[in-house]
Amino acid sequence: MIPVWRTRTTAGLLAACAVGLLLSLGLPETWPTQIWAPLWRSTLQASLSATASCLMGLLLAYAAHHARPGLKPKGWLAVFNTLPVMPTLVVVLMLLAAYGRNGAMAQAGLPLGTVLYGLGGIVLAHCFINAPWVMQQLLSQWQDITLERRRLVAQLGVRGVRAFYLLYWPLINETLRRQWLLVFLLCFTSFAVVLVFAGSPKWATL
């Protein structure tokens, strides 16, 4: 396992390099609109994409953790493991083939092409790529839940949301925050997804 101080040092150096590159343009009050507008759009879409990815990953992890073995489709784990490592352009083409103006959904009478282009398409594509990764990280944390702890919660009569916060949330709290930051950085620096789904210079990022 990588020591915490090395991780923090590396993150600090990367952040310092990024800030240094921006400050090379001058003081922030002297930056042109061509810098401020894309910077704001990049931060907004990355925040929304990271939040959507973590929420979807949490729902997928919870559903997979509680699904009965007979209800889990064969090879589902391999599919979810494949999505995060797919080339971004392949994922983009898959979404276009399914939800584009001439895609399978449009031919089935559900035209979603207008939603796909713009901020909605960018967030959808990022969620499609990153949510399976978040799901895998959360599932790996929940494997540490022992049968004794489950029985104790059941004997106390705790169910629903309260049971989730007592049994599951303490194990993934820190992991979920780290995954949000990781996905945020990945979405902030995304190029192919924004290039295809931005639809116009309105959502062009930094």
Q: What's residue 204's pLDDT?
A: 75
- For the segment 49-86, what is each residue's pLDDT rounded down to a tens digit? 999 999 999 998 888 887 777 666 666 677 777 777 77
Question: CB count, 10 Å around CB of 102?
Answer: 10
> Where does the pLDDT of residue 27 fall: very low under 50, low under 70, confident under 90, or very high at 90 and above?
low
- For the segment 84-117, what is each residue's pLDDT rounded down to a tens digit? 777 888 888 888 888 777 777 777 666 666 667 8
Q: What is the Cα–Cα distance from 41 to 47, expressed in whole angstroms?
A: 10
The model's pTM is: 0.77
What are the DSSP calls for 95-163, one per residue?
HHHHHSTTSHHHHTT---HHHHSSHHHHHHHHHHHHHHHHHHHHHHHHTT--HHHHHHHHHTT--HHHH
Angle at 68 between CA 94 and CA 91, to 5 degrees: 10
Q: What is the Cα–Cα distance from 75 to 172, expressed in whole angstroms?
A: 25
Q: Are 45 and 125 a contacting pair, CB within 8 Å? A: no
Q: Are 57 and 138 a contacting pair, CB within 8 Å? A: yes
Q: Are 150 and 167 a contacting pair, CB within 8 Å? A: yes
Question: For the CA atoms of 65, 69, 74, 77, what is the dihedral angle to 10 degrees?
Answer: 20
| In the block, residue with structure tokens 């540490």 | 144
